[in-house]
Amino acid sequence: MPAINSWLVAATDQLSKADITSARLDAELILAHTLRKGRTYLHAHSDEPLEARHQEIADARLRLRLDHVPIAYIIGHKEFYGRRFKVTTATLIPRPESEDIVTLTKQLLLPTAYHLPSTKLIDVGTGSGCLGLTMKLELPELDVTLVDISQQALNVARSNAKLLQADVTILRNNLLANYPFKLDFIIANLPYVDPDWERSVETNYEPREALFAPNHGLGLITQLIDQTPATLSGGGYLILEADPAQHAAIIAYAEQYHLRLVTTMHYCIAFQKS
């Protein structure tokens, strides 16, 4: 049986030849997940031989990664804002750029009405729940609701809420259609990818309905903006993620609904209802 380091060296070489830039990291994540140990264990026990059953499982996972299956789907979780979130092929994999939604929302929340326990925030198109759950965990007095049209995604979000001990409301709905309550904050990382864009092959494994939107990627974002007047309180905020190339069109569209641009942060745009 190969030693831990021997397996890692061979796996890293195969991944590098498959043009996977995070080859060593991915090899370590696969093996650490298989052994149910931390990556530091691999370094401290590099000469320890692998058991046959562990090698078989690790090799099978390595083959998936060589086919460009995202590492998060192989190991079943992804770090987001310093916390671990369960992910499945029913959910989009959380991206580092989406953490800006949390950062921006916190900046807008803290100096405003956060002292009121009734401050209501909704995460539309929640997927794994990473945005809304992070907001609840960062600012526990928030009244947080997670919304998605996919029941499978909501099952993952519910599992993450339980694992992270976050008390939130979970609702299956098509964006905010017929939503009955007024909201102080709407945050959303909706599908905004134009199917014609060049993109990573790894996105082929993610749910299409979580990635792509009609009208050059703007279809769902504009639909949510259409629903904002009926759901967002005066002075409330709408915070969206979109490609920077889409920002100008979104800003122009939002102006029709008395949504004033507050700021942008990389992929994120924040509006306030006048």
Give tens-digit pLDDT for 134-154: 999 999 989 999 999 999 999
What value does the mean pLDDT take over residues 119-124? Answer: 96
Task: Decide if 59 contacts 50 (C-beta within 8 A).
Answer: no
Strands 169-172 and 268-273 turn out to be unpaired
What is the fold of 91-273?
Answer: Rossmann fold (3.40.50)
Task: Decide if 24 contacts 32 (C-beta within 8 A).
Answer: no
Handedness of CA 254, 108, 79, 117 (dihedral sign): negative
Annotated domain spans of the chain: 4-67, 91-273
Give tens-digit pLDDT for 6-55: 999 999 999 999 999 999 999 999 999 999 999 999 999 999 999 999 99
Give tens-digit pLDDT for 54-100: 999 999 999 999 999 999 999 999 999 999 999 999 999 999 999 99
* Element of type H or E holding 240: strand 232-241
Q: Identify the pLDDT of residue 146.
A: 98
Q: Identify the pLDDT of residue 109.
A: 87
pLDDT reading at 189 higher than 60: yes
Strand order in the sheet with 143-148: 169-172, 143-148, 120-124, 183-188, 232-241, 268-273, 259-265
Q: Which residues pair with 85 in a beta bridge?
A: 78
CA gap 197, 193 in Å, rounded: 7
